[in-house]
A and B are shown apart, each in its own frame.
Chain A
């Protein structure tokens, strides 16, 4: 088993994304084989992305902290279940995704069916067929100080769109990585992002009444 403990320079795992999946796999194999430093490289690479995804997925910071810790604990407990043929980032965020689903179910916050349907414009929300313009820099600055409004806007999204938006725009995942985490097709993810971003722009771009 190759050991990565001597690779204190994190560049091996943290460089650009080309070959990133392979380096992740090498880190996982080394960690499972007993190299603690290899885990540190993976952890450094993904901790902030995972935290942003979890934090934006729940409205309470303490709950987010608990969930974040729980996801990493599951990674440790289930490390031998990981398969080298799959992307580590997909595996990691699949664990996070399932943990969040369980959490929302326990909190009885599973998005209602009306939210699932409203993508079709059948409820009283702006139609997704009207294209919203990007938010202006001034509007972005206003929203930065209004966390509640951002959370409300996210809560209005159908769960699939919300998930895609958070994984892409908050966790920084590529469409392929989202596919590996959710099992969804690339075009479906792209479609959800298109609808989700449009809906967010419509909701966040509207002035507060």
Chain B
């Protein structure tokens, strides 16, 4: 294994998980040299084209250009524009977790298509990730899933816990987990609550898990 950054801090069971790294990396081999040579040719040509046709005038030109950076500068703070395939959707004053969902509803774009539109730019990454988590999982549509509100669900679980009804809270969590993996439930919760709240939910997840 020749990873520049050695896998670490992963399993919680073993500090390294070197066994998994070794097994998964075996037999994959090095990158295909013929393709790499072709890629370098293309990259070198691109560099030459940059010099001849569009020389950047300053570092600022590079760091700030890109259509998403331009869009960001034009937008009001509370607005989000999702642009893809000629579709423009404006979202106003919505909770961060939900901003990308109406982008789907209105534009008909999939989360991945929206993500693709913002690919690599960091503009929508968090919002799209949140939407992915807040959107009922694929294939689980229907009334029960369609009206899920993660924030409300989380509040309800905490409220139930505060009322001392542990079993009811666990059942609410189990219902939630029917739509999302545990890891995603925790990730979603991390966006909506503080460390104490997250720790309480984590504890509940572990209790539910221990009964499986």
B39 pairs with A72, CB closer than 8 A: yes
List 20 interface pairs A-B (beta carbons < 8 Å), by A numbering. Answer: A1-B56, A17-B4, A29-B63, A32-B56, A36-B43, A72-B35, A72-B39, A79-B46, A81-B67, A81-B120, A98-B112, A134-B18, A169-B7, A169-B20, A173-B5, A188-B190, A197-B14, A201-B19, A201-B20, A204-B23
Q: How many A-B residue pairs have CB under 8 A?
A: 263
A86 pairs with B122, CB closer than 8 A: yes
B138 pairs with A113, CB closer than 8 A: yes
Leading 5 A-B pairs by shortest Cβ distance: A172-B3, A188-B187, A34-B51, A121-B212, A183-B129
When distances are taken between beta carbons in the complex, the residues of chain A under 8 Å from B17 are: 134, 169, 193, 197
When distances are taken between beta carbons in the complex, the residues of chain A under 8 Å from B46 are: 31, 76, 79
Interface set, chain A 160-189, CB cutoff 8 A to B: 160-161, 165-166, 168-175, 177, 180, 182-185, 187-188
Q: Does B177 contact A (CB under 8 A)?
A: yes
Main SS at interface, chain B: helix
When distances are taken between beta carbons in the complex, the residues of chain B under 8 Å from A192 are: 183
B24 pairs with A165, CB closer than 8 A: yes
Q: Does B36 contact A (CB under 8 A)?
A: yes
When distances are taken between beta carbons in the complex, the residues of chain B under 8 Å from A95 are: 119-120
Tell me the minimal C-beta distance from A69 to chain B in angstroms.
5
Tell me the minimal C-beta distance from A107 to chain B in angstroms.
14
Main SS at interface, chain A: helix
When distances are taken between beta carbons in the complex, the residues of chain B under 8 Å from A51 are: 28-32
Q: Does A22 contact B (CB under 8 A)?
A: no
CA distance A116 to B66 in the complex (A): 35
CA distance A187 to B39 in the complex (A): 36
Contacts A32-B62, A34-B47 given; does A73 touch B39 at CB 8 Å: yes
Contacts A56-B28, A129-B212 given; does A160 touch B181 at CB 8 Å: yes
Contacts A34-B51, A188-B186 given; does A94 touch B138 at CB 8 Å: no
CA distance A103 to B100 in the complex (A): 23
Q: Which of B6, B22, B62, B128 contacts A84 (CB 8 A)?
A: B62
Tell me the minimal C-beta distance from A128 to chain B in angstroms.
7
